[in-house]
Structure 1
């Protein structure tokens, strides 16, 4: 659908009473083809060439990934205009081509807004405490925020999860801002690397690779990772890439998960899972306890149980029992 300069001028004139600090213009067919729209919600948007139920539905679905359902949308068809909540947006008519105007959101909601705030905090006129932050000083905060997110996930509290995800995003933004200031890399470099990695490791989505099930997806993923390590001259162990700093239970689970997807070599013999294997007649050795715990992780995996989560839940139950005993005393 093509709009003449005159039609665009008429549409903008229709919106002349609204202060437009900036305006993004995008064609409806391009917007409908994006799984997550490349739009900044802090700026107004003009969508061109919306016609028919299919086009309107796809545009509405794409916009709902960025804007709340009750965000106002104005449809402009010639001299006519009508405003409704985004969730209620419907086709104007089978043959009626129209434009959509979406005003900017009132609160900063784009990732760039967070980056701007963080850069300001680190600027000479920013916060003295934030300017003193380093990668080393942020290590403990990164761990703390990660575990707070896990706690919120365990509680299945969406409001708290959203809050903790924001705190984790702050950690990422601050880490990359520090790197940018030191000339190491920039936020676009970080995003470009992960986007490239995801596309490269999903040839069945972004390429011509054919897969029949999840097992093939995981096998391909490991094969691609091995090829990447070989090209980079990295160690070729199947366990390469499992962080050394993981909590022990999570690390054991990660090791076992890796080996379950490796077919080139045989996995080592598993330690006995039975805690009874520890000789009760003599003091246990750290090696025996470690083997028993590792075997327990393997046994739990075989039954679809994540030991790290299971132990956290057990810890929470124990803490609740202690609190109850305290209340009853």
Structure 2
């Protein structure tokens, strides 16, 4: 349901308000909207409002002119000006001050803003996405948040339930994470093993999407093939699943070939796990495995595993 709404609103210019508890993936959804929009070739600018001091918020969003205040030694571009015809995402918008709310209202109404200390209006065509982990309607009713700004933001609200309540979104989220990680780590991982998807679906996700993203990133670093395999994930994830050695047995092969493949799977998983525990240190890993460092080097070469991936 969430992804269906995102696909519907992504191609438009409509302002989107993402609502949900911490870790439900508001930032991920904002990037997904941008990626499926006709602005995807332009900038995506994310601003974590709760992490910026109140005194710097207006300068951060709208920029400032040289000499606008003490320490403003040169002109600074704000996030709206940098975003241009792209997308700007304001996370935890519920934390901004009333003076910033007024300026933000002007941007949404007139599509113009003034840098701090400036006199000339600057136009913006940025697509606006906001997010809050608090009930903005309740804040507006109590006077903690401007009602007129709330109504401007609440054009297309999307409530993000915890991941455990929308597990049908997991495959697409995983694909999104893999695409991003491929860019950063120069890998070409394109598939996810069926057993991994089953295990992800069976898990309760107390850490929501943030936990899923971290798990996929760890597996992406460890993986040496083009498919995310069970060996690259923590063993605990599969505690309710069939043992890995029971997966995808090929009856056309001989018993010796199947046995060898099973041993190799276990060895590969074991080596990755022990290197991860020891942060890539060969001496410590060899000691824990009760083998020589020379034997460990030979095994790492055999399976194409790089110790640098675990540091």
TM-score (norm 1): 0.25
Larger gyration radius, structure 1 or structure 2: 1
